[in-house]
Structure 1
């Protein structure tokens, strides 16, 4: 127990130190009368610029913390030189991911995707728009020379996902996950200065596992909105209809569908970990999200693959400690 408490304190200290570096005093002390000078003007301009940069960074951090909690925790454990870029990358991913659920018409979603396509071009032309995520992304691209192709793949895949239909088969879901999720991990590796084929192979499998788990996790929410995206081939194999999910069925055949899909995610995690001895040790922090994926797969197994079980909607309070311990061991 003492070890767990110590680990928790260390992790919270890490988080506190990160946020401390982003907090700035925005207002002068009350009651002070100051005389103006050109030097003061330059200092004020410099302070205003610093405050703006801080606000952009805080915006990304707060967005990731609110919408991608596990990604938020994983970013805290990255090396300092890559941490800010990680928040920018994850904030970009969140911005794209939430378009589908935040628009009532596909046309509006396409317009937002077009904004990010144009923004990407502007970023690589050193002319980012005055939008917090775009500015932080521009800084990350220039700092680490990030590959434009990975950003384009993410945008294009998210745009195709606006078609709002179920995946035809598990391979189609894996293809989506490779383009949307694995590409993000490739960018994380670049931000950490890692170029290694084995690390890329591991990233590919982790991204696919993440895409599959995300699809499972979202099933109760999507079903409540009368939308089902689970692979149709597996549903048909077990004689399960979309209506079964929409009414929250917990029958054996529905659980069999979840078992098959979850098993595929588990296989990808195993493949990713099969590279652990050959992947450069410094790449391990980029793969810490496997801890959260493993946690969900373990929980869904314990409830006999009942994807609607209430326990699956609760956060694991021990996840930060588990992540820290895995990070300390430098294993994924």
Structure 2
């Protein structure tokens, strides 16, 4: 099968968005246990910027991208759950390209009610929300959760999902416009601005603190997150939007009242076909029920990946960002 116009976004060095270069690249034929997909939509995630800047070290040259959706063109030996012509979504490496070749174990078929764009916008972020809310420490009805960045890619799914569970959601965001959006997503209370967050959270909880914090901001938010928790509360730090969090001494967890801290990565929770199928099935069911919305805030041409990164890092995006090949 020939692909005369195929290309990828490749980086030969780490740095700013300008290191993302458009290069002609023929897709690799699938080997045993692999699929070849013509991509129709590619999700953009904050982790892609960490790969680009070198915060997360990777061998170069490198094609960024962690998720996508499209039409299966070919499958390798032993692949039976999907075949040519099937619409699929997947998490994997190097999806900033017109085509994706990767492990079939990371590929899920799409239900009729989920579009390619919805799947590419929601799979990685939605399964991250699943991991945070239902796997690490299942959030319970009537508990109180503090959600940082409630209108971002993951946050815009965390907020309505937590409300669906029956929890109270206190959101922390940076602007009045984002606060309005957080309320529309279901947040019960919103703290606007990053000053005195813990004090405001204490006031909103009658001095008790929250049961769990979902923190994707990192360096500037970690101490406020810890100070917002009730005794034996959970600090789940899962992102570095403001930079990596500073080291936290074990004694700080004791001082907060026997706090629990974890830094999860999705791939440790979807590392088997069974767990991936369970995560995606749960996610897609909530989308089809209307509990979750694949909120596509921005679309860029694949060739404009650098522009997409600039938008993401500027903090001006809302919901999900897609690249369209």
One fold, TM greater than 0.5? no
* Larger-Rg structure: 1
Q: TM (normalized to structure 2)?
A: 0.29
Q: Which has the higher strand share?
A: 2
Q: Which has the higher helix share?
A: 1
